[in-house]
Copies of this chain bind each other. A is one copy, B any other.
Amino acid sequence: MTSLQHVNPRVSGIRVSAHSTLQSLAAHITQQIMTGAQKPFKEVLDVSSGDPHKTGMKPISFVRQLMKDNSLPLDVRLRAQRLLEICDGQSVGAYSATSGLLHVRQSIAEFVMRRDDGVPSYAEDIFISSGSQRALMVVIKLLDKGGETQTGVLTPVPSPHHLPIILDETGVTPAPYQLIEDHGWAVHPEELHRALTAARRRCEPRAVYISNPGNPTGHVQDRKSIEEVIRFAAAERLLLLVDEVQQDSVHGHSREFISYKKVLFEMGKQYSDTVELVSFHSLSNACMGECGQRAGYMEVVNMDPEVMLFADTVLCADISTPVIGQLALDLMVGPPKPGDPSWDTHTQEILLIRTTLSQNAQRAQQFFNSLPGMSCQSVMGGIYLYPRLHLPSEITEQAKVLEVEADVLYSRRLLEEEGVLIGAGGTTDSYHLRFCILVPPHTLEEVLARISSFHLRLWADIRTLTEV
């Protein structure tokens, strides 16, 4: 990633159109006017693209009435007005720039600086996209060198369930490293080294993907663990792809979220000037949970500016990230302040979600550890539990006959018999369930009761079989 020649030739082969060159010039001229340059005109009129709201065509009321309200707290109305003002044509129906609304990118950079105790962050390093997975897809596309040698990415086992699809679609080889269950699903540097050496026999690994807080493991790395990973990436010249989407939901008592970027910058210039890092965050995180709005972003650190241009090129195929989602991102990174009319409500809602998450985690973890043939590591953050199933041979044999993984078979029967959909699979040599704990407490209790009923019935059946 440090030089242009390594960018996916299919990406660098995308021709920059005359249209986008003209658009850049128009943006430049607008910028000049805003900073006081004298021109024979006061504003640039854009009639080059079919974006009617931008040029002032009035949006259809029937759609818009669903999205406006005059009976709201003052700070909400002011915020809505300010956010609309940053949209072209003051309309959420107008396209935004490819990498997102500049105002929102600036808000995100300020949020990152506050979060990281002043480590600098710049709007031009922030790329807004239709969700963090889309941003990841962009980087993976850039990484892929094409040609004979397969490009590889070190990926955790277990991993977020969407990761394999993204790698498959881009044709990049996953190079699995195992998270250590007995150590609460920690990342071990020896295991990263082992995985890298093994991967080099079949591909050219160019990046390491980390999920922290861990999806689905619930592990949260401490500073020492993050330093180890950074040193590994530095020594092996790997790009760090850090999924920090659940950064707002650390609920263990003994851990806090520390960003990879903050640790990187505190390790000194030897690291902070050289290690390439991309951090992903999302509107679909625990507290906001606005999954259907489709917005997220990545911040890139130490990426070659020429390569960054290509990130823009790939995002360009998406045309624009949904504008309402971008505005919601602005709210996520800039919540109401003390004294604002909405502060009380907002703070209570966030607190309620965090409390629910923390209590649900404890409750569900105790529940799984109380069942025969189940065990569950302590979780420190994120929105998943990943309990282990110690299945008797009767079940694993039955699964073999049916040609499914035994944990998938367990989930299928649970779904059919009790109507609970729980994720399964993801590791090859042991059996686990993937359980999202961010549900209302009464739903959690209902789910646990159904699981209990199914699980104990299954275990009783097996005992009967064994005794016969």
Contacts and interface: CB of A to CB of B under 8 A. Distances in A.
Copies of this chain in the oligomer = 2
Given A48-B422, A418-B41, A421-B47, A65 B57 contact: no
A275 B63 CA distance: 36
Contact of A65 (B69, B293, B294, B426): B69
Contacts of A422: 47-48
A35 interface: no
Contact of A44 (B65, B169, B383, B421): B421
Contacts of A317: 133, 137, 165-166, 169
A26 B405 contact: no
A184 interface: no
Given A44-B415, A60-B346, A162-B319, A291 B169 contact: no
Contacts of A350: 60
A305 interface: no
B346 A93 contact: no
A29 interface: yes
A52 interface: yes
A331 B62 contact: yes
A290 interface: yes
A19 interface: yes
A302 B139 CA distance: 36
A120 interface: no
Interface in A95-135: 95-96, 130-131, 133-134
Interface of A: 10-11, 13-15, 17-19, 21-23, 25-26, 29, 39-53, 55-63, 65-73, 76, 79-80, 87, 91-96, 130-131, 133-134, 137, 161-162, 164-166, 168-169, 171, 215, 284, 286-294, 314, 316-325, 327-328, 331, 335-336, 342, 345-346, 349-350, 353, 356, 383-384, 404-405, 408, 411-412, 415-426, 434-440, 443, 446-447, 450
